[in-house]
Amino acid sequence: MKAEDAELAIVEPRLRVSLARIDSPSGGGVETLWLLRRSADGGTDYVCFRGEDEPVEVLEGYHFPPQMPLIKRRTWLNRSEAQTCRCRLEGSEGFHHGPPLF
């Protein structure tokens, strides 16, 4: 990884998760975390957590290239609710960390 690449990390007792920082048009950055799950038809269910401050934006959707991504739901949660949601998705719904889909 290059030194100029900004990368943030969340440290938990069981897990260290790397969060990519993407440049926004305004010059700042947006912290993102992608959770992915393959579906039976070859597409991918995704949940993207975005935001450095509260509230955290949560995008839930589906992507089957070359089609445009489908956003099923968009919500805003406080950080503790977002953490609870992430743990539920990883623990019981089969999602795992992955690279951004688009």
* Segments forming the whole domain that contains residue 36: 7-96
In a domain, 102, yes or no: no
Strand partners, 62: 45, 70
CB atoms within 10 A of CB 34: 20
DSSP code of residue 65:
T
Please give the pLDDT value at position 50. Answer: 95
Count of domains for the chain:
1
In a domain, 40, yes or no: yes
In a domain, 56, yes or no: yes
**pLDDT per residue over 7-63, tens digit each?**
323 333 333 343 333 333 334 456 899 999 999 999 999 999 999 788 999 999 999
In a domain, 101, yes or no: no
- Helix or strand run (H / E) with residue 82: helix 79-92
**pLDDT per residue over 74-100, tens digit each?**
999 999 999 999 999 999 999 999 999
Please give the pLDDT value at position 30. Answer: 65
In a domain, 58, yes or no: yes
